[in-house]
Amino acid sequence: MRILSLLLLSLAALTVSYGQTGYPVPTDKNNLLFYIQHDRGQNTYVYKANLNGSKTFVKNEPIIVYRQIFEENGQVKPLTKTQRLFAYGIKSSKANTNTYETHVVSLPEQKITVTLDKDSVPIAETSVNGTKLILERIFLKLTEGTSGLGTKLDYIIFYGKDKNGKSVEEKLMM
């Protein structure tokens, strides 16, 4: 019985350590596709659909990316050049009329499809470990002792919904 209790306690602690509690969410949710947070502060990298008045993506910039600095009263700032080129920037190519194939520059193998759903709401779809999901947020667990351009990841957690609207959480080990 004692071993079982210790095992359950260990599993509970492990589960809690994966996610992030008490992290703020972006304040402007209009056309929000997804956002990224990491375990070294609560700065948030926000990805929003850039739509024109007729609910189509702006051709030259279909996705707007910025950072929200919650440690500075939620101030919104553009990505730095280094962040844009090597970490949180996004590459997009048009797939068809209202669909773009994209990826975050630091994770080119993780393809994200940005499109409009049946109600013309912008969504970001991806597949992780064979599970398809409508992406809502990403959490990065950074490797201890790494920083700057040499930052490495232990794992990434993708949060979203499946096609039936059920919450999905997929962990990708690095």
**What is the domain partition of the chain in residue ranges?**
23-173
Residue 71 has pLDDT above 60, yes or no: yes
pTM exceeds 0.95, yes or no: no
Q: What is the mean pLDDT of residues 89-114?
A: 96
Q: What is the pLDDT of residue 1?
A: 44
Q: What is the pLDDT of residue 20?
A: 65
Q: Which amino acid is located at 95 in the chain?
A: A
How many alpha carbons lie under 13 Å from residue 123 in its C-beta half-sphere? 17
Residue 101 has pLDDT above 60, yes or no: yes
Residue 9 has pLDDT above 60, yes or no: no
Query: pLDDT digit string (tens) for 15-45?
Result: 333 456 778 999 999 999 999 999 998 899 9
pLDDT band at 5 (very low <50, low <70, confident <90, very high): very low
The string over 21-32, giving b where at least 16 C-beta atoms fall within 10 Å of a residue's C-beta and e elsewhere, is eebeebeeeeeb
Q: What is the pLDDT of residue 17?
A: 38
Task: Map tokens 């850039």 to a residue.
Answer: 50
Compute the distance between CA of residue 122 and CA of residue 49 in angstroms, rounded to an integer.
6
Q: What is the pLDDT of residue 7?
A: 34
Residue 11 has pLDDT above 60, yes or no: no
Which residues touch 147 (CB under 8 Å, ≥6 apart)? none
Q: Calculate what percentage of the chain has a pLDDT beyond 70.
A: 89
Least confident among 13-27, 126-140, 147-161: 13-27
Q: What is the pLDDT of residue 121?
A: 95
